[in-house]
Amino acid sequence: MMNRREWMMLTTAAAGAALGGRWGYAQQPAIGSNMNPSYENPIDKGPFQELPNELLLYDFQPISIFKVPTTKIEKAKYPVIDLHQHGVRSAEAAQEMVRTMDAVGVERSVIFAGAGIPQEFAEVSKIYAAHSERFDLWCSFDLTGLNDPGFGPNALNSLEQCHKLGAKGIGELTDKGYGLGSHRSGTSMEPGAHADDPRLASLWDKASQLGMPISIHVSDPIWAYQPMDNHNDWLPAAWTWRIPEAPGLLAQDGLIESLERAVQNHPKTIFSACHLIQQDYNLTRLGEIFDRHPNLYADLSARVQEISTIPRFASEFIQKYQDRIVYGTDFLYNDEAIRCEIRTLETFDEHFYIVYPGYNHSFWPMYGLGLPDTVLKKVYRDNALQVYQRARDNSV
């Protein structure tokens, strides 16, 4: 007598045979039986058989098959202030940036000069001198001699001098695990200072006194720390930006916690954390961080694509924290790149891919967030102005 499992196997096989006879499908082995290694399904024959062995991961560039409404965006619906841009190296390139800004609706762009020494900052400033109304230059910290006794007074003086030369903020300061000011010395890494390091306390306070907001990058995306295997959700980018464990390297949670302590210890200093503080995968945690620290903002730079894969939740989150999110790009200006981000923020378009090289780091299609006009105005421009205003209000 058959038990229930054997009966199910038999009826499943019979059903498969019946369908095969009716529709012309090749008969499959019964469920639970050993697959015949010599079995061939004639439907499977063709070029797809060899794809796993021949198609490189980076060469996979899917094109959407869905015939759904699309929105062509030429220009942002409202004026934009880009609070995260690394800039160019010549006056001619700056002029081209202005052309792109005009074309896509960017009113003003913050340029991270990458200079904390006053003389170097002055040199970078010359590149943008002809367009002072379109570019705000931010300086870095001068962390020369960070690990030497007596560090501090020179760094404070450099910051004051850069401010006098026109620096309106400070950034992008970067800590990916070894600290601000870390650098390679021979074959070893010379450590820097994490955000909550006491050596940086006077610099955070000086920034507040000068009315200068801070842009700070801590950590990298979560997939950069995860195993580089077939389960990594963002593998192409993860492989490029991977961060393996190493002695003295602070991982993501530790870096975010160090930033939180710095923000909490310096409530009059206005911070803008880059890339949604790397919490695009956990917006709930980002909201909790916002709730704890009213002097903290976060920019969208290089994370619009990531959050577009969870459009409903991301839209709800941005609407809830609409006073704390600022717009930023983080890439050299490209008309189509910015238009793609604008399309994502403004529309409800579905299942579209990036169509130009160098921007798409995953295989996931994008979906529009459809943010309301009142929220778009804040994210595009008003929140950036608020960052500046709050920093000035806290100055002495």
Confidence of residue 12 (pLDDT cuts 50, 70, 90): very low
- Helix, strand, or coil (residue 170): strand
Q: Has residue 28 been placed in a domain?
A: no
| CA angle at 173 for the pair 207 and 333, rounded to the nearest 5° | 110
Residue 55 in domain: no
* Domain-embedded: residue 45: no
CA gyration radius, the chain: 26
Domain assignment present for residue 64? The answer is no
pLDDT for the residue 26: 36
**Residue 213, domain CATH:** 3.20.20.140
Q: Which residues 6+ apart lie within 8 Å of 19 measured at CB? A: 25
* Tokens coding 72: 């062509």
Its sign, for the CA torsion 11, 13, 16, 22, is negative
Q: Flag whether 272 is in a domain.
A: yes
For residue 31, is pLDDT > 60? no
DSSP state of 147: T
According to DSSP H, which parts of 24-76 are helical?
A: 51-54
303-338 pLDDT, tens digit each: 999 999 999 999 999 999 999 999 999 977 888 889
pTM: 0.85
Maximal C-alpha separation, the chain: 93
The answer as to whether 372 is a domain residue is: yes
The domain tally of the chain equals: 1
46 in the Ramachandran plot: left (φ > 0), alpha (ψ -120 to 50) or beta? left
Query: Is the residue at 316 inside a domain?
Result: yes
With tokens 């989150």, the residue in question is 317
What integer is the mean pLDDT of 90-97? Answer: 96
* 21 pLDDT higher than 80: no
* pLDDT at 362 (0 to 100): 64
pLDDT of residue 360: 53
Amino acid identity of residue 212, one-letter, is: M
Token duo for residue 315: 């839209």
Rounded to whole angstroms, how far apart are CA atoms 79 and 81? Answer: 7
pLDDT tens sequence across 355-376: 665 555 567 899 999 999 999 9
Q: How confident is the model at residue 51 (pLDDT cuts 50, 70, 90)?
A: low
- C-beta atoms surrounding 280 within 10 Å: 24
Average the pLDDT over each of 24-33, 349-358, 369-378 and give the range with the smallest value.
Answer: 24-33
Please report whether residue 369 resides in a domain. Answer: yes
| Closest by CA position to 212, among listed 138, 316, 119 | 138
Provide the domain limits for residue 198.
Answer: 80-393
Spell out the alpha helix ranges (H) of 64-200.
91-104, 118-127, 153-164
Question: What are the start-end ranges of the H helices in the chain?
Answer: 4-23, 51-54, 91-104, 118-127, 153-164, 201-210, 235-241, 252-265, 283-292, 304-307, 311-320, 335-346, 373-377, 383-393
CA gap 150, 72 in Å, rounded: 57
Sequence-distant (6+) residues with CB within 8 A of 247 are none
